[in-house]
């Protein structure tokens, strides 16, 4: 009996399935899902060594699922490689020794690490996924930012700290806690930026916990009922001890700088990189939006719009609205940082990904 090869899901996201039986279809769906959420690398083997010399260089296989009459053959991760996969399908289908010996072609997944990586994602990351975050509790977040987010039906996270200089008591510069509570009622995420905007590498564990607890307590006082799960490092400064504390406190995500897109399979959830808007750096920001694809998420750090308290990180109001209009009109999905828990299993990510502090700022 000869081998039949079926090419399944010849699309970027493996969204089509072909099977010869319900049993094979279930296998195909499971394997497609596994590959889809983990950018797999695969190795090819046979019951003999028939195809080894032809496939030894194929370490990455494209978004294609092939299936013999008995076995699912291969999965891949980039459209660029799909031609190779089709050639391999045709090769297996017509290769005489296989037809004669009825030897099924099997792909062995590199399970030693990939299985745990696959479990990092609850579901595939869609293209055009953006997270907007706003730092420092400046007044323009309430007067300008929130109304524009509501206008364009976008989500966002507001990181709260009580600055000493300029003092948080100056309500011409900063929001009141009552206004912060109203942001929560609007559906936005209220998150932790430490009590005094103290850099974590300059605090003891006890002081760090105290500053986290203060913001959590103040938020509860204005009826922010949801437990805080997101943190932003003041000044983008990090420290290994902070990761331990954040985990003990039950935080799920922590944002840094770095100027790159967030890859949930590579970046630790307590070291989520972001792009910072500042002045008129619109080219950098529009380039960043384009990186929200192939499993990567773009996170923006935005300060005041404008920022009277910290003018060196201001974002002009007209430019900010231009960004929001672009995201809205081009059908980006814009969410708060906490909403990443719909896609990411934080616990598995914490256990799987090693923190890399070298590119946090």
Distance CA 349, CA 326 (A): 32
**Is the CB of residue 161 less than 8 Å from the CB of residue 215?**
yes
Phi, psi (deg, nearest 5) at residue 133: -130, 145
Helix (H/G/I), strand (E/B), else coil: 294: coil
pLDDT of residue 358: 84
DSSP character for 201? Answer: G
Q: Are 277 and 302 in contact (CB under 8 A)?
A: yes
One digit per residue, pLDDT tens: the chain, 361 residues?
232 323 333 233 333 333 333 444 444 444 444 444 444 333 333 333 323 333 333 333 333 333 333 333 333 333 334 444 444 444 444 444 434 433 333 333 333 344 445 589 999 999 999 999 999 999 999 999 999 999 999 999 999 999 999 999 999 999 999 999 999 999 999 999 999 999 999 999 999 999 999 999 999 999 998 899 999 999 999 999 999 999 999 999 999 999 999 999 999 999 999 999 999 999 999 999 999 999 999 999 999 999 999 999 999 999 999 999 999 999 999 999 999 999 999 999 998 899 998 877 7
The closest alpha carbon to 243, from 293, 195, 200, belongs to: 200
Residues of the chain with CATH 3.20.20.370: 129-359
Cβ atoms of 341 and 226 within 8 Å: the answer is: no
pLDDT at 163: 97
Output the pLDDT for position 118.
54
Contacts 24+ apart (CB under 8 A), 28-33: 28/65, 28/67, 28/72, 31/65, 31/72, 31/75, 32/8, 32/65, 32/75
3-state DSSP assignment of residue 185:
helix
pTM (2 d.p.):
0.71
The full length of the chain comes to 361
Side-chain-side CA neighbours of residue 95 (13 Å):
19
User: What pLDDT does residue 280 have?
Assistant: 92
pLDDT given at position 235: 96
Pick the closest to residue 190 from 224, 163, 218, 223 (CA basis). Answer: 224
CATH 3.30.479.10: does it fit domain 129-359? no
């Amino acid at each position: 009996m000869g081998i039949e090869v079926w090419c399944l899901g010849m699309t970027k996201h493996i969204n089509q399935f072909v099977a010869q039986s319900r049993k094979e279809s279930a296998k195909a769906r499971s394997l497609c899902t596994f590959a889809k959420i983990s950018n797999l690398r695969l190795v090819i083997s046979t019951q003999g060594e028939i195809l080894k010399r032809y496939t030894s260089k194929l370490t990455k296989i494209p978004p294609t699922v092939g299936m013999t009459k008995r076995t699912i053959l291969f999965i891949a991760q980039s459209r660029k490689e799909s031609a190779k996969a089709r050639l391999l399908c045709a090769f297996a289908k017509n290769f005489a020794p296989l037809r004669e010996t009825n030897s099924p072609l099997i792909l062995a997944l590199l399970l030693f690490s990939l299985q745990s990586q696959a479990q990092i994602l609850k579901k595939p990351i869609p293209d055009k996924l953006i997270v907007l975050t706003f730092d420092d509790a400046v007044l323009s977040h309430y007067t300008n930012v929130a109304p524009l987010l509501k206008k364009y039906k976008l989500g966002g996270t507001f990181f709260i700290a009580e600055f000493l200089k300029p003092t948080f008591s100056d309500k011409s510069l900063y929001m009141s806690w009552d206004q912060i509570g109203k942001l929560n009622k609007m559906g936005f995420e209220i998150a932790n930026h430490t009590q005094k905007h103290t850099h974590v590498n300059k605090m003891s564990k006890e002081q760090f916990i105290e500053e986290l607890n203060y913001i959590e307590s103040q938020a509860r006082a204005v009826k922010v009922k949801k437990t805080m799960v997101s943190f932003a490092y003041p000044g983008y400064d990090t420290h290994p001890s902070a990761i331990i504390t954040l985990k003990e406190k039950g935080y799920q995500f922590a944002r840094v700088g770095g100027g790159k897109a967030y890859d949930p399979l590579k970046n630790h959830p307590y070291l989520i990189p972001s792009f910072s808007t500042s002045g008129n750096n619109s080219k950098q920001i529009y380039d960043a939006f384009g990186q929200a694809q192939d499993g990567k998420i773009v996170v923006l750090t935005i300060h005041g719009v404008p920022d009277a308290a910290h003018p060196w990180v201001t974002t002009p109001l007209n430019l900010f609205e231009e960004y929001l209009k672009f995201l809205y009109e081009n059908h980006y999905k814009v969410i708060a940082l906490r909403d990443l828990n719909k896609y990411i299993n934080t616990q598995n990510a914490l256990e799987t990904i090693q923190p890399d502090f070298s590119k946090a700022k």
